[in-house]
Structure 1
């Protein structure tokens, strides 16, 4: 081959490599998460904001958008397993979910998903006075969703759980005086009670909480390891530069103050559904004032 031919081939190869790099950098990642019942739902604002933060840290070109249809937690997880409608979901972990899906094992709410305060019917608030032990707590009937990990956790700890098929039914049953309390995460309870309105007969029990170790993760399909690596890389960069913790603190520390978390008696129970790979030893990933 002549020098001129060699030069031409090298230029062609360089052009191919350049175009390849441009394609990777310029590729648009379309990342779809489950559309909530209400687009203004405060419970979704932090996970979306954190996901945006993580993706921004990677420098990729992305579009983050909700699914076309409303997807509640159980259906969203099924759709994710089947690579349909969504390619990322945030949810509380358990052993089965980590078998079915790829869990990005960075607790996005630092374990607050397992810190539970109680929505109660006003007529039953007096029943919660003078509780002194977890044995006393087991005398009350919690309301939970049929397919929620929380249900199995409470049952494994000796609670007689009243289950409902859909989330909204839990509050409906509580209004009717069925069941004694609806244990909700501290990151969920305030917007839920606000949505019920001041005229509701449901309110926040003021003195107690349950805690069990668990994590809310971002999940992706087992077939989408590239996206999993991308999100994990972004989260770790946000952890390293402090922006993850800043977003967490600005979002949730005022909430903990508002519900007087520091004044509550907290009963800790076991979580038999907690996967062995949960990074409990990394204190930087958890909010440590819960037990």
Structure 2
């Protein structure tokens, strides 16, 4: 009921905005043009904007942006006015989140990229304690790094994405946890000069969300995106797009044949809408 009333209020406000000038919605240009991981968030952003009836132009920034640069640019109001990123308290304090998980929580379901020559070493793992014997690799400024460290893992980091594979190659790390929405395109597009593959028996899950973020001062754009996403949830278009893209990946992950260890997320912001079941894929039901 509250969501319906809120949507009605926002819709009335947006009826004025819809007839205003064209909104120039700019998101970060990826480092790698062949990176397919952005296709779904862009499609979801486009869907949300279309649901509102506003006139818009959706485009990428002129310069390429690593995540750190994109976050700082958005906070400063330079070059871009929207991005999508995994949330944590620090990001929510610096930017304005639209608290509707783009991936319905799948971003917290992690499989492992592993050096092919090391696959045999992990076959003996049967417990979370056993998994902690292996060193993980993550980005230096990724929220996931803190999550894994808080759960007792040793984590090696690198400031740039290609360097993460170098750590695997040099055996400074054993496993590279990636969400099921990222891992196959990353493996396909990997430029690693050594054999890597997806480990087939294990996974970890922790509650987290990837949101659209805007600059804290950009309240109108935040309301436009939020309103569009709520409308897409209400009319089924959100789930239609989500399942079209992700059901094949969920099936491919063969989750029923994996041991899925549930981790805690100590950096999950208190305002995360965990109680809205419609926003989440029921991963927690299959983890242990």
**1:221 pairs with 2:209:** no
What do the CA deviations read for 1:226-263 (whole angstroms, capped 9, x no partner)? 10000000000000000100000010110121232232
- Contact 2:165–2:192 (CA<8 Å) still a contact in 1? no
Return the alpha-carbon distance in structure 2 between the equivalents of residues 252 and 280 of structure 1: 20
Could you tell me which of 70, 86, 89 is aligned with 1:76?
70
**1:274 pairs with 2:268:** yes
- Residue 158 of structure 2 corresponds to 164
Residue 23 (structure 1) shift: 8.1
- Contact 1:141–1:180 (CA<8 Å) still a contact in 2? yes
Looking at CA atoms only, which structure, 1 or 2, has the larger radius of gyration?
1
Runs of 5+ in structure 2 lacking a partner?
1-14
What do the CA deviations read for 1:254-288 (whole angstroms, capped 9, x no partner)? 01212322321100010000000000011100000
- Residue 202 of structure 1 corresponds to 196
Runs of 4+ that moved beyond 6 A = none
**100-109 vs 166-175, greater mean Cα deviation:** 166-175
Pairs within 5 Å for 1:38-117 = 38-117=32-111
| Secondary structure of residue in 2 paired with 1:60 | coil
Could you tell me which of 173, 182, 193 is aligned with 2:176?
182
- Residue 239 of structure 2 corresponds to 245
Could you tell me which of 228, 233, 238 is aligned with 2:227?
233
**1:35 pairs with 2:13:** no
With over 3 angstroms needed to count, the CA separation of the structure-2 counterparts of 1:71 and 1:281, relative to structure 1, is same
Runs of 5+ in structure 1 lacking a partner?
1-20
Pairs within 5 Å for 1:130-169 = 130-169=124-163
- Residue 12 of structure 2 corresponds to none
Residue 197 (structure 1) shift: 6.7
Return the alpha-carbon distance in structure 2 between the equivalents of residues 246 and 103 of structure 1: 23
Residue 198 (structure 1) shift: 9.9
Q: CA RMSD in A?
A: 1.6
What do the CA deviations read for 1:196-234 (whole angstroms, capped 9, x no partner)? 279741110011001110000000000001100000000
- Residue 118 of structure 1 corresponds to 112
- Contact 1:175–1:202 (CA<8 Å) still a contact in 2? no
| Secondary structure of residue in 2 paired with 1:194 | helix
Return the alpha-carbon distance in structure 1 between the equivalents of residues 187 and 51 of structure 2: 34
| Secondary structure of residue in 2 paired with 1:87 | coil
**Aligned residue-pair number:** 271
